[in-house]
Chain A
Amino acid sequence: MRPFLFSKSSAANQALAKKNSTTQYIAGGTNLVDLMKKHIAEPESLVDITSALPAKIEPTAKGIQIGAMVRNTPLANDPTILAKYPLVAKAVLAGASPQIRNMASTGGNLLQRTRCPYFYDVTTPCNKRKPGSGCSAIQGENRMSAIVGYSDQCIAVHPSDLCVALAALDASIKIQDKSGKMQSISFTDFHRLPGTTPERDNNLPANALIHSIEINENAFAKNYAYVKVRDRDSYAFALVSVAAAFNLNGDQIVEARLASGGVAHKPWRWLEAEQYLKGKTANAATFEAAANIAIKDLRPQTHNGFKIPMLKGAIETALQQCLNP
């Protein structure tokens, strides 16, 4: 690790006042400490924000607010989350290990970096790590890489499970800036596609902190599923994952949500498939048709063509599981 100065802030505005281009904030540290060990993150000063941000899950007028410092385990065990937003708990428990879930924060989950092997290997070119150096994955080992929304500069995928559920539930992110002003960004606008600036993962302004996540009341607490396909049964990043939810009137789907991880640089919503599901009968034929719509325009890399049938199966399985969560 490169040497750094360490300080602790007990309030968000205090932490924001310390921010400059060589400062980084640390919460759970599960991703950042690792990146620092590998000299991928090299902050010259580190600010501990574990006491600076809310660590509570609280009801709001429209739904629920999850403080940025709520750790993964209490989030997945929270009675209100389990009763009203169970998709969130399901996605959290699909990710990482119990030890990491005890450490990792909600805000940090949103800001974690890709696990693309070339991003982690500092001896190879990577546009995300070193802008302009090139993308090693495009010509290299890319079985974990993106199949949609990528650019000729970066084919990395976003690693979070929680974010897939939050994207599906149309959550929003409350951001606090230096002046103390709060601003709300819709979840699907938060993470970016790589385009020509793959070094930027999201639209969080440089002088701001994630304060909390908000989810509005919804009708998706009864029929929901999170399906994650990975190289081993547990404790691995997704090859593909699917968050699915719908509400039913009899056997008719009123509204559906469908999102995926492991496919793109950001949590990916299958909007056309969601639109198709509206008003249809919830059965295997409908689910297959929706999956076919989702996979129709995907462009895999040299080593991950398998992700397309895998995704199709995962979508059908997830929608089927929604009937019996």
Chain B
Amino acid sequence: MLGALAFIPRGVKAFYEEVKNFIVPQKEQLPLTVSINKKSYAIKADTRTTLLDLLREDLNLTGAKKGCDHGQCGACTVHIDGERVLSCLTLAAMVPGKEVTTIEGLANGDKLHPMQEAFIECDGFQCGYCTPGQIMSAVACVKEGHTKSVAEIKEFMSGNLCRCGAYNGIVESIQKVAAK
């Protein structure tokens, strides 16, 4: 008897899965050629794939982190054509023709980027989860010239949250690199 009851929900679910194939729009796979850290990748991806998922799931570049996946935390920050953007709100389909830089592309071989070194020296992180996004954002912040005061740095780093509260070390890292 109980076995029969357990069967009904399964049957309903299976029926729904069948029907969904008719009512859900067709899935589309796009052939994409993307340039990440100056390397070209030819890949097929579902239209729904975000740049963040493409990096992490398809290209195994797991430096950019999925914090909120809604553009609120900045952990997924990467550069597109030299400008910092949120990869979680960027569709992979819109990236071909552009140059993407992730945290993996920042160091020069074994030589760390000055911002990476500064984060180590100034204790710019604790757990490290937000750090790739913080560093990508910090590099852009210096390049944009928004480092004239602590207040300005904080304002232009406000899109990157750190739940450990390493903010003072992050600000210090940015000041250090900006002074160079």
Contact = CB atoms under 8 A, between A and B. Distances in A.
Nearest to A103: B85
Given A3-B27, A234-B158, A46 B47 contact: yes
Interface in A39-74: 44, 46, 48, 50, 73
Contacts of B94: 26, 29, 48, 50
Contact of B69 (A30, A37, A99): A37
A6 interface: yes
A181 interface: no
B89 A3 contact: no
Nearest to A3: B27
A233 B88 CA distance: 24
B137 interface: yes
B89 A33 contact: yes
A102 B140 CA distance: 11
Nearest to B156: A98
Contact of B89 (A1, A6, A29, A234): A29
Contact of B137 (A50, A96, A98, A234): A98
A77 B81 CA distance: 18
Contacts of A50: 94
Contacts, number: 91
Given A1-B48, A3-B46, A4-B48, A233 B90 contact: no
Interface in B30-64: 30, 46-48, 50
B24 interface: yes
Contacts of B85: 99, 102-103
Given A50-B94, A99-B86, A3 B159 contact: no
Given A6-B30, A30-B71, A235 B159 contact: yes
A233 B151 CA distance: 10
Contacts of A100: 71, 86, 89, 159
B45 to A, nearest CB: 10
A205 B83 CA distance: 33
A44 B88 CA distance: 20
Contacts of A78: none
A285 interface: no
| Range class of the A interface residue count | 20 to 34
Given A97-B158, A103-B86, A233-B158, A34 B70 contact: yes
Nearest to A45: B25
B77 interface: yes
Contacts of B25: 2-5, 44
B144 interface: yes
Contact of B144 (A3, A29, A98): A98
B93 interface: yes
B26 A3 contact: yes
A4 B84 contact: no
B155 interface: yes
Given A2-B25, A102-B84, A233-B154, A34 B30 contact: no
B122 interface: no
B100 interface: no
B141 interface: yes
Q: Which of B27, B28, B141, B144 has the most CB of A within 10 A?
A: B28
Nearest to A6: B47
B166 interface: no
B124 interface: no
B91 interface: yes
Nearest to A46: B47
A279 B26 CA distance: 63
Interface in B79-108: 83-86, 88-91, 93-94
Contacts of B74: 97, 99
Ranked nearest first, the 3 interchain pairs of A and B with the lowest CB-CB distance are: A97-B159, A234-B158, A235-B158
Given A5-B47, A98-B84, A98-B144, 6 more contacts: A3-B48, A36-B48, A46-B47, A100-B86, A103-B86, A233-B158
6 contacts: A6-B91, A44-B25, A97-B74, A98-B144, A99-B77, A235-B159
Interface of A: 1-6, 26, 29-30, 33-34, 36-37, 44, 46, 48, 50, 73, 96-100, 102-103, 233-235
